[in-house]
Amino acid sequence: MLSQVDLILERAVETQNVSHANTPRRRKSAEVRRQDIVKAAMEIIRHQGLDKLTTRSLARAVGIAQPTLFLHFGNKSQVLMALVDALRTRMEDNLQDLALERLPPGERLRATIRFYLDFIDSQPGVARLLFSEELQSADDELRERVNGLTSYYRGVVGRQIEAGQADGMLRTDLDPRAAAHVLVGALQGLAFCSILRGQRCSTVEQSDIVLETFLHGWTAPRSARA
């Protein structure tokens, strides 16, 4: 038999539970909701491909009604542009964390290449987005955003090549922009193959093979470095 104290405590707990049940859940801020939508879009692209990303599937993944989704993004292209913008910000932040300027020129280029494959490995949806057929028929603004992401990274690679030239490590007759274009193309080829095989890129091993292959033709003669 419950004592009077036990009864009082039991009623207090019941009252507290009812109070919590009747308390409305806090709505997420618009910015947090947008981030949730972008993350869900990346997961759908990663596991199902870009063609399976629709406003309906996205709303279902986030757990909201489709009309609510349209309060944050007008259409699928706007979601993808926000996704690309988030990837660009992440890439810039991660590259800054590498502190490339503190490394010798040769190590800068190596670190930059490893970074790219690490970036793809950690976010498999990125490669599926970059190499999707649907992207080729997307609107001009979305294609420009995606091209801007790749161009940004090519610019980083180009600056490391210039640093190698200034240090005497690389041939001075190389066009840094053209060389960066070819090198990044080779890295994207590795990333595309990883999609076809359904496997991760072997980051350290394959990135070093790619770099050494190019350095074989890019390295300045010993007489030029003396």
Closest CA to 123 of 35, 46, 38: 46
Q: If pLDDT is split at 50, 70 and 90, which confidence band does 1 have?
A: very low
C-alpha dihedral, 165 to 168 to 174 to 175, nearest 10°: 10
Domain limits of the chain?
76-225
CA dist 190 to 133, 187, 202, Å? Answer: 18, 5, 9
Per mean pLDDT, which range of 47-51, 111-115, 129-133, 180-184 is the poorest? Answer: 129-133
Distance between CA 165 and CA 37 in Å, rounded?
44
CA dist 214 to 26, 75, 148, 167, Å? Answer: 55, 42, 24, 17
Q: If pLDDT is split at 50, 70 and 90, which confidence band does 204 have?
A: low
CA dist 115 to 52, 102, 112, 157, Å? Answer: 29, 16, 5, 11
For the whole model, what pTM was predicted? Answer: 0.77
- Tokens for 173? 């007759």
Distance between CA 158 and CA 178 in Å, rounded?
8
Q: Would you identify the CATH topology of the domain 76-225? A: Tetracycline Repressor; domain 2 (1.10.357)
For 182-196, write each residue's pLDDT tens digit. Answer: 999 988 887 777 666
Question: Which DSSP string do the residues of 137-197 spell out, in sequence order?
Answer: TS-HHHHHHHHHHHHHHHHHHHHHHHHHHHTTSB-TTS-HHHHHHHHHHHHHHHHHHHHHH
